[in-house]
Amino acid sequence: MNTRKSLTERICQAIGFELLAILICTPLLAWIMDKPMLDMGAVTMALAFLALGWNVVFNGVFDRVLQRFAIVHNAWTRVVHALLFEGGLVAVGVPLIAWWLDVSLLQAFVMDIGVLLFFLPYTYVYHWGYDVMRARMVGA
């Protein structure tokens, strides 16, 4: 599989990832937390911008590591990808959530667990689907 992607393609991949996540998460979180859709949309958008930057940087580094060490892009590398991506996002996002909501880091971490449980499989499936569609488009 060709992992060489331009910066423009990486940005488009990341924007697609975040837009779909916002469309799924905003109404779901508004319902679960009993908050207005507009409020949850604003919070979700702020976290999405953080994740967007992380997505572009992380995927670029991850692809370079795969290429540098000739690691096969398979189901196991996708699992590692999802775990490392979400782990990095938690490390940056939890302090932001704690500050924004004025809660402890532990409370913010516990709140983030629910979101993480959604994003781990979502990250895996989104990037797998993106790679499959990209391979079909590049091969055509």
19-46 confidence digits (pLDDT tens):
999 999 889 878 877 778 888 788 788 8
pLDDT value of residue 98: 79
| Domain range enclosing 104 | 7-139
112 within a domain of the structure (yes/no) = yes
43 within a domain of the structure (yes/no) = yes
The pLDDT of residue 2 is above 70: no
The answer to whether 33 and 40 have CB atoms below 8 angstroms apart is: yes
111 within a domain of the structure (yes/no) = yes
The answer to whether 124 and 79 have CB atoms below 8 angstroms apart is: yes
120 within a domain of the structure (yes/no) = yes
CA distance 101 to 107: 10
Q: Based on the structure, what is the number of domains in the chain? A: 1
The pLDDT of residue 1 is above 60: no
Summarize pLDDT for 52-83 with one digit per residue, the tens: 888 889 999 999 999 999 999 899 999 999 89
Residue bearing tokens 């938690």: 90
63 within a domain of the structure (yes/no) = yes
Rounded to two decimals, the pTM is 0.67
How many CB atoms within 10 Å of residue 118? Answer: 14
2 within a domain of the structure (yes/no) = no
The answer to whether 73 and 5 have CB atoms below 8 angstroms apart is: no
1 within a domain of the structure (yes/no) = no
117-136 mean pLDDT: 91
16 within a domain of the structure (yes/no) = yes
CA distance 37 to 78: 32
